[in-house]
Amino acid sequence: MDFSGAWEIDYDLTENPQDKLRYLYEIAQSQYDQQQKARADRDGVRPAPSRALNDLQGVIQLGTLVDAVTRSTILTINQDQDYIAIKRSGDYALTCDFLAPQLNLQIGVETCGLDAQGRLVFATRLPEGLTVVNRVSLTDYDGTADNKRLYVSTSMRSEVLGQSYSLNRVYRLFAPGEGLYECEFTLAKKKSCRLGSSASDVSVGSAVDE
């Protein structure tokens, strides 16, 4: 599968990290409320804080880390038969030599390759039991071969926390030089954009203060 080209983020299809963390919090809160009610009905006492809420703190920490390593709005992919390089704006490149699929980094070890579904997978083992996995796949959007979308799923797991967190980002092909705005999602803002290389930010959407 040919992943090569210049790709810009498609915000309509990309998950917002803030919305996803809010959803996880609501799920944990609902589980806690159900456990609290069940124990109160059975024993007539208020239960101790639920593990679901305690574990949520670990998920939020992972979510913050995943958000920090997935902010690239532009991907430039060069590929040949034995090698692929994914250059990410604002982050280090993901590279894979299919003939030597393990790379020793200063902060860990990265392995790469294609899985059974044809997805390109980069798995990085970091200190303190952290593992980051990027899965890259290519799909025809709306069944149109010339309207492709690049899907990048980033998952992080901690052996210490026993939790995992994933975030899905979607990119579309574009001709370099045609982009007008540079945008990114953050946990503090839903979406912020700047016009070209100007230092003046143009706010798009609104921040959620909760």
pLDDT tens-digit readout, 85-104: 999 887 778 899 988 888 77
Given a contact cutoff of 8 angstroms between Cβ atoms, the answer to whether 187 and 18 are in contact is: yes
d(CA 172, CA 11): 10
d(CA 140, CA 3): 12
Mark residue 191 as left, alpha or beta (left: phi above 0; alpha: psi -120 to 50; beta: remaining).
beta
* pLDDT, tens digit, 9 for 90 and up, residues 111-130: 999 898 889 999 988 877 78
Residue 105, strand partner residues: 108
* pLDDT, tens digit, 9 for 90 and up, residues 15-57: 887 787 777 777 767 777 777 777 776 766 555 555 555 666 6
pLDDT score for 112: 92
d(CA 9, CA 22): 22
Q: Is a pLDDT exceeding 90 seen at residue 151?
A: yes
Task: Output the six-digit token pair for 194.
Answer: 């700047």
User: CA-based angle 191:192:195, to the nearest 5?
Assistant: 140
Give the residue with greater pLDDT, 172 vs 36: 172
User: Does the pTM of the predicted model rise above 0.85?
Assistant: no
Q: Is a pLDDT exceeding 90 seen at residue 137?
A: yes
Percent of the chain with pLDDT over 70: 67
Mean pLDDT score of the chain: 76
